[in-house]
Amino acid sequence: MATRPIKYKRLNASKQEIRLLELAPAQSLDEPVVCRLITVSLSDDPEFLALSSLYGDHSETEKIFVDGSPIVLTAHLAQALRYMRAVFFPTLVNSAKSGPSQRPQKRGPRWLLHLLRHVSSILPDPELEGKTPLRLWFDMLCVNQADERERSRQVLGRIYGSAKMVVGWLGLKGEFSDEGLKVLKEIDNAMPRNWGEPGDKELHPEHYSPQHRWAEKVQHFWMPTEEGVEAFTLPHWIGANDFMNRPYFLRRWILEEIALARFPAFLIGDDIVSWKQVLRLNRFQEEFRSYPSDLFPARLRAQIADVPLGTVHALLDEFARRQRLEKMEALNSTQSSSSTRGTSNK
């Protein structure tokens, strides 16, 4: 992968040391990636992002600079770093700053700004946007691939669990990606919060087969046009199917890895999508492909993205797991609030 070896300093396993990339900001997306490697200890609870990505086509390469030396990566990996730089630099800076004078290149979604609102050490000095680095962990460069002992000690679950966010790189946008992303967001907004949870079907049978009452809000996605053109030939349908058929989602092992993160998300071009939106889209697809519906035409079932069974199981398992976690967190929060009120009343 690299034209010349990176000079790695040995890590101290007893201190739980890892390396992070510090990416320098750039004036444009197309500028080459310039970064340096630093060493931190996980025991110090450092703030950083992590990048999860397939390698991509080895015949297509791009040069980046690590500690001043040129390194050649696949174009897919280099693009991941460039888009991480473009998306997260303005998001982090604008989550740390306030005021009308700040004009981001592209403002991140609310959930992302909320998540990163307290992050400080990824951008140590928000007043120096043009000089401060973006810190992230990326196994291809942060782990000495030639050192078998180091590779065995760099526990992915611990690193992903320590990262503020783990971002799965899906690649560049296609022609209809923007239309497809609108489908994800609208389905996520329309779907009832507890849909798919054990016991919810008994409480709200109208939300499930065959009624699917909640889906009336997104019914326009599969209705033919006034001219009779079928929905599956339209940009939004093609874009949504293209999103779920990205090579990243076809590898169960990488989905199981990113599921180790505290907060996983996905990056496609310059748009970031939450793990929850992906899980809920997949849950939607499986429901309407597998069960009869008064709203969804049976003839369109075969036109829903056909995701491999292993991927479906991984996504559905994670959908259920994260719903349980959210329920537990909400319960703990309620109990904590009740305890606080009880103490204050004494």
What is the SS3 assignment for 247-267?
HHHHCHHHHHHHCCCCCEEEE
List C-alpha distances in Å: 209 to 166, 205, 233, 280, 291. 35, 8, 25, 16, 6
Angle at 151 between CA 145 and CA 153, to 5 degrees: 160
* Residue 297 and residue 194 in contact, taking contact as beta carbons nearer than 8 Å: no
Residue 237: predicted pLDDT: 95
- Rounded Cα–Cα distance for residues 206 and 208 (Å): 6
* Residue 276 and residue 217 in contact, taking contact as beta carbons nearer than 8 Å: no
pTM of the model: 0.81
In DSSP terms, 75 is beta-bridged to none
Burial class (CB in 10 A: 0-12, 13-18, 19+), 251: middle
Residue 167: predicted pLDDT: 95
Domain ranges (residues) in the chain: 13-171, 177-261+275-332
Residue 3: predicted pLDDT: 56
Contacts of range 108-114, beta carbons closer than 8 Å, 24 or more positions apart = 108/272, 109/272, 109/274, 111/274, 112/265, 112/272
List C-alpha distances in Å: 213 to 186, 207, 209, 268. 15, 5, 9, 31
What are the per-10-residue average pLDDT scores of the chain (346 residues)? Answer: 73 93 90 95 93 95 95 96 88 50 50 53 45 82 90 87 94 97 94 90 96 96 93 95 92 86 91 88 90 94 80 71 68 60 54
Residue 187: predicted pLDDT: 95
Residue 124: predicted pLDDT: 40
DSSP line for 10-58: PP-GGGTEEEEEEEPP-SSTTSPPEEEEEEEEGGG----EEEE-----T
DSSP 108: P
Nearest to 166 by CA among 115, 90, 231, 102: 115
Residue 113: predicted pLDDT: 57
Residue 111: predicted pLDDT: 52
- Rounded Cα–Cα distance for residues 26 and 158 (Å): 31
